[in-house]
Chain A
Amino acid sequence: MILAVVVIIVMIMAAFELAQHYRSKQWKAAIIYTVLLLLLLASAVFAEFGIEFPDPMIPIQKIIASITGNKKI
Chain B
Amino acid sequence: MDNQIITRKHTITIIFVFMLGSSLVLRVGGGAGRDAWLAILIGMVMMLPVLLVYSRILSLFPGKGFFEIILASLGSFFGSILIFLYVWYAFHLGTLVIRDFTEFVKIVGLHETPEFVTALFLGVLCIWAVKAGIEVIARWTAIMMPIIIAAILLITLLLIPKFKIDNLKPVLYNGMQPVLDAAFSVFTFPFAETVICTVIFSYVKSGNKPYKIYLWSILAGTSILLVTSVRSLLVLGEESYKINFFASYMSARLVKIGDFLERIEVLVAIVFLVGGFVKISICLLAAAKGIADMFSISDHRQFAAPLGMLMIIYSLTVFKSTVEMFAWSENVYKYYAFPFEVIFPLIVWIAAEVNVRKNKRSKAKT
Contacts and interface: CB of A to CB of B under 8 A. Distances in A.
A64 B306 CA distance: 30
Interface in B96-114: 114
B165 interface: no
A29 B300 CA distance: 10
Interface in B276-313: 291, 295-297, 302-303, 305-307, 309-310, 313
A19 interface: no
The A interface is mostly helix, strand or loop, or mixed, namely helix
Nearest to B330: A72
A42 to B, nearest CB: 10
A15 interface: no
Interface in A14-73: 17, 21, 26, 28-29, 32-33, 36-37, 39-40, 43-44, 46-47, 53, 55-57, 60-61, 64, 67-68, 70, 72-73
B309 A40 contact: yes
A46 B317 contact: yes
B295 A73 contact: no
A64 B335 contact: yes
A9 interface: yes
Interface string B35-70: 000000000000000000000000000000000000
Contacts of B328: 57, 61
A5 B120 contact: yes
B303 A33 contact: yes
A11 interface: no
Contact of B335 (A2, A13, A37, A68): A68
B331 A47 contact: no
Interface in B330-361: 331-332, 335-336
Interface centre among B306, B307, B310, B335, by most chain A C-beta atoms within 10 angstroms, is B306
Interface string B309-329: 110011011100000000110
Nearest to A34: B306
Contact of B303 (A36, A43, A44): A36
Nearest to A65: B332
A55 B318 CA distance: 8
Contacts of A72: 327, 331
Given A6-B313, A43-B314, A28 B120 contact: no
A24 to B, nearest CB: 11
A46 to B, nearest CB: 7
A36 B306 contact: yes
B116 interface: yes
Nearest to A20: B302
Contact of B317 (A9, A29, A47): A47
12 contacts: A6-B309, A6-B313, A13-B305, A29-B297, A33-B302, A43-B314, A44-B313, A47-B316, A56-B88, A57-B328, A60-B332, A73-B332
Interface of B: 88, 114, 116, 120, 291, 295-297, 302-303, 305-307, 309-310, 313-314, 316-318, 327-328, 331-332, 335-336
Which 6 pairs of residues, A with B, have the shortest CB-CB distance? A36-B306, A64-B335, A43-B313, A73-B331, A40-B309, A72-B331
Given A13-B306, A37-B306, A39-B310, 13 more contacts: A1-B116, A5-B120, A6-B309, A17-B305, A28-B296, A29-B297, A32-B303, A33-B303, A43-B317, A53-B317, A55-B317, A64-B332, A70-B331
